[in-house]
């Protein structure tokens, strides 16, 4: 398998390593391409507080370092400038014009936060206590209502455009171990998921198979679940494998397993951004296996 990852965090956000060190380690592991995707800064005064997003004042340096690495590593590793951008209704999203102006090679669109009609905004992948409070206060204890709100947010994000990769598609399962709050397979779940996949199909969006939840020992399977990858395959939705690494040791973790899952779902290729010999970045296909 040609090794690449387009979902990589650095110490500009909640990652532990520098751009330079991650490039070094990616080359050691035999990577062909490495895309950086620190968490985009939250808009000032949006009312949300986070210790895992990049500070707004660091964005220029983040861009400069990655553009520097692109030049420095040319010929050995293709380096790409990306960003993981939250979709938070009414607050921010990958379709915001600022990202176009800054010249990113690609954006990952991710839903971490939900803003319920009542109660405070909360992250679906935050601590279990925050998730539980979000359901109780925001959805009157109805986990299925939260599930539907999550998929609606992902659908809106995909329809709004701006991103090329859909981040950890079914992140909402992280705090729903043993299906404590809602079913991950019933008709209600499948209906909402199906609405999202209908928007993604034919849009050019790529679904990442994200091994980050396993890497960080938060969950036992990839995002999205293997059965969902059968549905994306049936709809002709392209995929790639990414590690969502926050530490260099995870750059290629569980890649062999992710490749196997994709082949079992019927995929024969994954997407990779390529500099195409200087002709400008383009998404190409790498064979699986
Ligand atoms: Zn994320
Ligand atoms: Zn991430």
What is the pLDDT at residue 216? 81
What is the pLDDT at residue 80? 98
What is the pLDDT at residue 45? 86
Q: What is the CATH number of the domain that holds 55?
A: 3.20.20.140
Distance 20 CA to ligand 1 centre (A): 22
What is the pLDDT at residue 279? 84
Distance 163 CA to ligand 2 centre (A): 14
Domain that holds residue 265: 3-287
Distance 24 CA to ligand 2 centre (A): 20
Tokens of 83: 């960003």
Q: What does each of the 289 residues of the chain score in pLDDT, given as a tens digit?
A: 999 999 999 999 999 999 999 999 999 999 999 999 999 999 988 889 899 999 999 999 999 999 999 999 999 999 999 999 999 999 999 999 999 999 999 999 999 999 998 878 999 999 999 999 999 999 999 999 999 999 999 999 999 999 999 999 999 999 999 999 999 999 999 999 999 999 999 899 999 999 998 888 888 899 999 999 999 999 999 999 999 999 999 999 999 999 999 999 999 999 999 998 878 899 999 999 7
Distance 9 CA to ligand 2 centre (A): 6
Distance 149 CA to ligand 1 centre (A): 17
Distance 289 CA to ligand 1 centre (A): 27
Instruction: Determine contact, residues 39/55, Cβ cutoff 8 Å.
Output: no
For residue 15, give the ligand nearest its CA: 2
pTM: 0.97
Distance 279 CA to ligand 1 centre (A): 30
Order of strands, sheet of 106-110, starting from the edge strand that comes earlier in the sequence: 3-5, 31-36, 78-86, 106-110, 165-166, 206-210, 239-242
What is the pLDDT at residue 213? 85
For residue 166, give the ligand nearest its CA: 1
Distance 112 CA to ligand 1 centre (A): 7
Distance 236 CA to ligand 2 centre (A): 25
Distance 252 CA to ligand 2 centre (A): 14
For residue 211, give the ligand nearest its CA: 2
For residue 7, give the ligand nearest its CA: 2
Number of independent structural domains in the chain: 1
Closest CA relative to residue 123, chosen from 49, 207, 189, 45: 49
Query: Residue length, the chain?
Result: 289
For residue 112, give the ligand nearest its CA: 1
For residue 37, give the ligand nearest its CA: 2
Distance 223 CA to ligand 2 centre (A): 12
Distance 185 CA to ligand 1 centre (A): 23
């Amino acid at each position: 398998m040609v090794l690449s990852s387009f979902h990589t965090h650095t110490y500009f956000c909640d990652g532990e390593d520098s751009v330079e060190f991650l490039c070094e380690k990616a080359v050691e592991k035999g990577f062909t391409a490495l895309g950086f995707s620190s968490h985009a800064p939250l808009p000032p005064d949006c009312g949300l507080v986070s210790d895992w997003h990049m500070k707004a004042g660091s964005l220029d340096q983040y861009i400069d370092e990655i553009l520097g690495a692109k030049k420095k590593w040319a010929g050995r590793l293709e380096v790409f400038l990306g960003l993981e951008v939250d979709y938070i209704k009414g607050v921010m999203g990958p379709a915001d014009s600022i990202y176009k102006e800054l010249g990113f090679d690609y954006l990952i669109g991710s839903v971490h936060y939900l803003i319920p009609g009542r109660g405070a905004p909360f992250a679906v992948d935050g601590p279990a206590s925050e998730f539980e409070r979000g359901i109780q206060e925001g959805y009157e204890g109805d986990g299925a209502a939260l599930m539907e709100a999550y998929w609606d947010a992902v659908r809106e994000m995909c329809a709004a455009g701006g991103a090329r990769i859909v981040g950890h598609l079914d992140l909402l399962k992280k705090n729903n171990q043993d299906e404590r709050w809602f079913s991950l397979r019933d008709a209600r779940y499948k209906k909402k998921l199906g609405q999202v996949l209908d928007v993604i199909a034919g849009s050019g969006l790529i679904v990442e198979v994200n091994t980050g939840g396993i890497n960080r020992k938060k969950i036992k399977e990839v995002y999205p679940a293997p059965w969902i990858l059968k549905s994306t395959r049936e709809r002709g939705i392209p995929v790639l494998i990414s590690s969502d690494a926050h530490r260099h040791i995870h750059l290629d973790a569980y890649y062999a397993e992710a490749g196997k899952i994709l082949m079992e779902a019927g995929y024969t290729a994954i997407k990779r951004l390529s500099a195409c010999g200087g002709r400008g970045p383009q998404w190409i296909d790498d064979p699986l296996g």
